[in-house]
Amino acid sequence: MKRTKHSQRRIWIIALLILVFSLNSTLATHAQTKQVPTAGIAINGKLVDGIQPVMIDGKMYLPFVPLSKILGYNSSQYNPKNATFQLTDGSTMLRAAVGGSIARKSNEYIHIDPLRWYNKKAHITLPAASSLFNVFMYYKADNGSIQVQKPAQQYIVQKGDTLFEIARSHHTSVYNLKSTNNLKSNMIQIGQRLQIPPRSKMKETEPIREKAPVPHKYNTSISSVRTNIINEAKKYLGAGYKFGATLAEAPRLFDCSSYTQLVFKQNGISIPRTSRDQASKGTNVKTLEQGDLLFFTNNDLYSDGRVGHVGIYMADGSMIHASSSKGVTITKNVLSNPYWGKNYLFAKRVIQ
State the Cα–Cα distance between residues 258 and 256, nearest whole angstrom.
Answer: 6
Q: Which residues contact 154 (CB under 8 A, 6 or more apart)?
A: 136, 193, 194, 195, 196
Question: How many whole angstroms separate alpha carbon 306 and alpha carbon 327?
Answer: 22
Give the DSSP H or E segment for 306: none
**Which of 111, 170, 171, 309 is the catalytic position?**
309
DSSP state, residue 155? E
Q: Cα separation of 160 and 101, whole Å? A: 9
| Helix 222-234 × helix 256-265 angle, to 10° | 130
Q: How far is CA 194 from CA 23, 189, 352, in A?
A: 37, 10, 44
Q: How remote is the C-alpha of 159 from its chain's centroid? A: 20
Amino acid code (one letter) for 83: A
Cα–Cα dist 259/248, whole Å: 12
Per the annotation, the verdict on 111 as an active-site residue is no
Strand 145-149 relative to strand 108-111, pairing = unpaired
Closest to 294 measured CA to CA, from 108, 176, 308, 258: 308
DSSP letter string, 210-269? --B---B---S-HHHHHHHHHHHHHTTTT-EE-TT--GGGTTTEE-HHHHHHHHHHTTTB
Is the separation of the CB atoms in 339 and 319 below 8 Å? no
Q: Is 123 a catalytic residue?
A: no
Give the active site residue among 111, 170, 171, 256: 256
Total Cβ atoms within 10 A of residue 118: 14
Residue 321 known to be catalytic:
yes
Active-site annotation, residues: 256, 309, 321
